[in-house]
Amino acid sequence: MSGGAHILSIEQFHRDDIETLFITADRMEPYAQRRKMTRVLEGAILGNMFFEASTRTRISFGSAFNLLGGEVRESVGTESSSLVKGESLADTARVLSGYSDIICMRHPLEGSVAEFASASRVPVINGGDGSNEHPSQALLDLYTIQKEIMARGRTIDGLRIAMIGDLRYGRTVHSLCKLLCLYERVRVVLVSPRELAMPEQYVEALQTAGHHVTITEELESSISSVDIVYSTRIQEERFQDRQQADLYRGRFRLNQAIYTRHCEPNTVIMHPLPRDSRAEANELDRDLDQNPNLAIFRQTDNGLIVRMALFALILDVAGIFENYAQDVRWYNPRIG
């Protein structure tokens, strides 16, 4: 990954890029935890363009940029942008790239962020393009996986992971499958209703990488010998109507009783969030919140530092941000 690059797909990453990113992310931790601050991006502007619903991705990209000393300008939803007036993505990109030093964008159409990036004069990060990809999520997921399983004496090479839920429309699992192709001897169990199965291209990519792939509709046997259970939400916004999504909602529920009965004692539970906590779905029950292996909020914390690292590498300040370190002056509950 070179300075100035767009981040559009996991396909552009090599294994050494991931190592560099994760080492940089580790160095960001004291800044994310407000034990130190840095103003290395003072004067820089992030254009945060979210044309589809988002909480974590939008706020963590914005916060990550702020934590490096930069400013954030946002546009949220198509209704409030000129896209509703018929403006092309290319024109929007020409305009916004005059106002920003880097742009993060989420859009409901597959390929839209790449189209936007091709007309942008500044680097563009894909914050999710339809059901295609969500590269920064896969990077924070893999960073989390590495941290969690290293603590259990294991490595990503040889990882055993079950991906559960809407594997057809879930862009986070699409990007994660591509990312796992950079590693060796991974065993992947894909658990979904047949209609929401992982698209063939991702299964093929995993197999071409030499990984062992199992496809099933059965939850309990699938989670019995894995390091990671990665649950996902039914992507109801990609269905023709809500009733169609209702057919699948709640099909694969994980709660503490199921975990205790079927999982190995140290299995890590992950989810890109939001988890659908409505009674008819409840894919990850709240009774798991006391389980120390539930890593969902460590994932969101890691999202901040991985996104800080992405900005630092793309804007070429990864070698110098510590030179701009300052003490934090305000009360910090993280350090008491």
Least Cα distance to 174 among 129, 144, 215 occurs for: 129
Q: Is 130 an interacting residue with respect to ligand NCD (CB under 6 A)?
A: no
The tokens of 228 are what? 């990671």
Q: What span, in angstroms and rounded, lies between the C-alpha atoms of 122 and 1?
A: 15
- Out of 35, 56, 147, 298, the residue judged to bind ligand NCD by CB under 6 A: 56
* CB closer to ligand NCD out of 160 and 271: 271
Minimum distance of ligand NCD from residue 55's CB (angstroms): 8
Between 78 and 225, whose beta carbon lies closer to ligand NCD?
78
Nearest to 282 by CA among 238, 247, 233, 236: 233
Name the H helices within 108-215: 112-118, 135-150, 171-180, 200-208
Out of 9, 97, 100, 172, point to the residue binding ligand NCD (CB under 6 A). Answer: 172
Smallest distance from ligand NCD to CB 69, Å: 25
Would you say 57 or 267 has its CB closer to ligand NCD?
57
Q: What mask of x and - would describe binding to ligand NCD in positions 109 to 128, judged by CB under 6 A?
A: -------------------x
Please report, as a single letter, which amino acid is at residue 183: Y
CB of 233 to ligand NCD, least distance (A): 4
Active site residues: 56-57, 85, 106, 134
233 binds ligand NCD (CB under 6 A): yes
Which residues between 133 and 152 bind ligand NCD (CB under 6 A)?
Answer: 134, 137
Q: Decide if residue 310 touches ligand NCD (CB under 6 A).
A: no
| Least distance from ligand NCD to the Cβ atom of residue 19, Å | 24
Is the CA virtual torsion 49, 50, 55, 56 positive or negative?
A: negative
Cα–Cα distance, 264 to 281 (Å, whole number): 24
Q: Which C-beta is closer to ligand NCD: that of 176 or that of 318?
A: 176
Instruction: Count Cβ atoms below 10 Å from residue 257 Cβ, excluding itself.
Output: 10
User: If 0-12 CB within 10 Å is exposed, 13-18 middle and 19+ buried, where does residue 324 land?
Assistant: middle
Task: Give the 3-state secondary structure of residue 179.
Answer: helix
Select from 9, 38, 48, 57 the one that contacts ligand NCD (CB under 6 A): 57
Q: How is the chain split among helix, strand and coil, in percent rounded to 5? A: 40, 15, 40
> Residues 237-276: x/- map of binding to ligand NCD (CB under 6 A)?
-----------------------------------xx---
Whether 224 and 155 have beta carbons less than 8 Å apart is answered as: no
Q: What is the smallest separation between the CB atom of 240 and ligand NCD, expressed in angstroms?
A: 18
The single residue among 171, 174, 249, 307 that binds ligand NCD, judged by CB under 6 A, is 171
Q: Which is nearer to ligand NCD, 70 or 272 (CB)?
A: 272
In angstroms, what is the minimal distance from the CB of 327 to ligand NCD?
32
Closest to ligand NCD by CB, 44 or 46: 46
Identify residue 282 by its one-letter amino acid code.
Answer: N
Q: Are strands 45-50 and 37-38 parallel, antiparallel or unpaired?
A: unpaired
Closest approach of Cβ 113 to ligand NCD, in Å?
13
Residue 240 makes CB contacts below 8 A (sequence gap 6+) with none
- DSSP annotation of 123: -
User: Which residues of the shown chain bind ligand NCD in the complex (CB under 6 A)?
Assistant: 56-57, 128, 134, 137, 171-172, 233, 235, 272-273
